[in-house]
Structure 1
């Protein structure tokens, strides 16, 4: 299996300066390539005979032919790989089954993560060696150390990205993984805002320590907003603003680490204990557009849970079953199979017609009663073979 190791790099001022330039150049190549792609497509729609449709090769050749003098001082592979990723993005745009489906958009220098790719990196004595720019002497160019030992001796394509003032490297490598022992057990997971239900109980994905961090994040965001409103563009130049922003970035990193730790442990427990796992095929993007519980959905990391569980089932030889998007796991009675419709449906506010709460399931055909989430788990479990 192909895994990816993400390591934090030890970067000095000289390296930081040139890595920042490569991040900016990658963003420039992407935006210029996207603009060229769109112009080619518009010309093709107006006159298909004289203007061929855009593709990776045509867009790349156009950018290379119109390179400015300053671009020759930077890595040519940065442009090549940016156009390649842009072509893949357009390809995914026509496949709605992709988890990150959507039209390619322009990159902003205000994005919290900036980065670039290179396929000329090497691992030398446990350090990461990147291409040396022409404008830098050998004495000022160093191999990059990491805060943890690298698990590979060779790399093909390396992603370098900057996040919250630190540089990281994503290094792919191959590893032999043996299948987990068969348990002849099956389970189902019903994802909800703040918690996941399965056959053995419930997992809280928004514990008290996370909620405390989110309250602190809200306070820092309001503080920064007030400073920008009062001082305008001068606010970002003050030391106080920089200190508050650093605290905000630190708390966001803590939140990401806690959530990742929770999901990794829960998914590992699932693939260890069960051979078949049933989950819902939720349209998370469409659900978040309703703004009813979009913030809770984002904090409950529905998409990341499915992503991690998918690759772990593939690694360890376990079967992941996706319930159809139209499968009424919440409205269906696990006892008799009756499906609630119309004004009998359970909503986030419960059922006004019968005066039931949002977490109560009462079947009006057979009288079956249960917790709403536990009933959904039983319905999903019925899809297992």
Structure 2
């Protein structure tokens, strides 16, 4: 059954010198508007205890150079700032931060009657025209918006948000439970395991060497009383560090995309723990390993791919005792009876020998199927 979705395509751009200047202006103007609007909101609240309803348009009279860039890019800043405020006040997220030059430089524009378009080798954007591009896949559908960005290695990209049609994958009559881990990335209820690739660990030595050189060049620049932006040796080394991080990120994303798609393709119901990753990374001993595993990104990929392809992802409550419950008879051990160091245990009730992670994945699957059944009955009105 075809489903209409919004899908983002990341496309590499190859702007000429003039286009690079335009992008730099756009990044600078959107960053300025964000910081200016945020600062004025903060100062207004201090004085009046009310929220300032400011817009980019009111700043164009004082700062005429804002007119040189796409007006929709500035309008989107207003929307993004409003969203950040709503998340802070309604969802308890962190308060919006001021933006710094060179960190996540980007701007977003909208497609209005063909202002954003593509050809076989270019992407057309408002106020700049066609930019040479390299497409990773064929793009079909209506382009809704475009986000232009520059990464730390100096590469330019545009993320095209496209309204497109996607076909559901065929049903397999197979369901799976997933236990997330550090030794093994995942342990599945069918007994199979996927080893943790440990992307950061594999490149840790190279990254440490490059960062050490970067620190030395920072000290040399400071000793010579030169700005880091004017130190060519520092900037060259900064690029080398960024390229190591880029390699780690790209390998990790490739692994997560392939693994998540294979799970969605081969199973109808996928059950997984809803872990509190933000809380877990506060553990200093495990923070680096947990961050390197990218559990949150993996779960996010499973969620939107399940929706796209007509499959079901069920998240199990983080407090569900999947490890301490015997998958054979349901006997529940206490925390004292099953410390983290114990990886296998015999159930005192039915005597079944349990591998800690496999047992957890089986319990996660059973709980996921139970919740999926309740949800199905509720939506059909048969409860």
RMSD: 2.6
Q: SS where residue 338 of structure 1 aligns?
A: coil
Report the Cα offset of residue 379 of structure 1: 1.4
Relative to structure 1, the CA distance from residue 42 to residue 210 in structure 2 (aligned partners, 3 Å threshold; closer, same or farther) is closer
Alpha-carbon contact 1:123-1:154 (below 8 Å) kept: no
Relative to structure 1, the CA distance from residue 370 to residue 290 in structure 2 (aligned partners, 3 Å threshold; closer, same or farther) is same
- In structure 2, list runs of 5 or more residues that go unmatched: 371-383
Q: What is the match of residue 68 of structure 1?
A: 63
Residues 101-134 of structure 1: per-residue CA shift (max 9 Å, x gap): 43322212242x21011125421544222333xx
| TM-score after normalising by structure 1 | 0.83
Relative to structure 1, the CA distance from residue 346 to residue 231 in structure 2 (aligned partners, 3 Å threshold; closer, same or farther) is same
Report the Cα offset of residue 281 of structure 1: 0.8
Report the Cα offset of residue 332 of structure 1: 2.5
Q: What is the match of residue 353 of structure 2?
A: 369
Q: What is the match of residue 169 of structure 1?
A: 158
CA distance in 1, matches of 2:362, 2:150: 44
Residues 314-354 of structure 1: per-residue CA shift (max 9 Å, x gap): 0111111110121122233323333333533423xx2xxxx
**1, 8, 11: which is aligned to 1:4?**
8
CA distance in 2, matches of 1:319, 1:153: 25
Aligned residues: 354
Matched, 1:17 2:17: no
Relative to structure 1, the CA distance from residue 226 to residue 338 in structure 2 (aligned partners, 3 Å threshold; closer, same or farther) is farther
Residues 42-71 of structure 1: per-residue CA shift (max 9 Å, x gap): 4453xxxxx5x44xxx22178447642332
Relative to structure 1, the CA distance from residue 61 to residue 227 in structure 2 (aligned partners, 3 Å threshold; closer, same or farther) is closer
Report the Cα offset of residue 166 of structure 1: 1.0
| TM-score after normalising by structure 2 | 0.83
Residues 275-325 of structure 1: per-residue CA shift (max 9 Å, x gap): 110001111112112323111111101111011100110011111111012
Q: What is the match of residue 226 of structure 1?
A: 216
CA distance in 1, matches of 2:188, 2:126: 49
Relative to structure 1, the CA distance from residue 325 to residue 124 in structure 2 (aligned partners, 3 Å threshold; closer, same or farther) is closer
Q: SS where residue 159 of structure 2 aligns?
A: strand
**101, 108, 130: which is aligned to 2:100?**
108
Report the more deviating stretch, 102-111 or 215-224: 102-111
Residues 350-372 of structure 1: per-residue CA shift (max 9 Å, x gap): 2xxxxx4xx33454555443322
Alpha-carbon contact 1:331-1:346 (below 8 Å) kept: no
Q: What is the match of residue 187 of structure 1?
A: 176
CA distance in 1, matches of 2:323, 2:155: 44
CA distance in 2, matches of 1:87, 1:171: 22
Q: SS where residue 165 of structure 2 aligns?
A: coil
Alpha-carbon contact 1:160-1:169 (below 8 Å) kept: yes
Q: What is the match of residue 137 of structure 1?
A: none
CA distance in 2, matches of 1:330, 1:103: 37
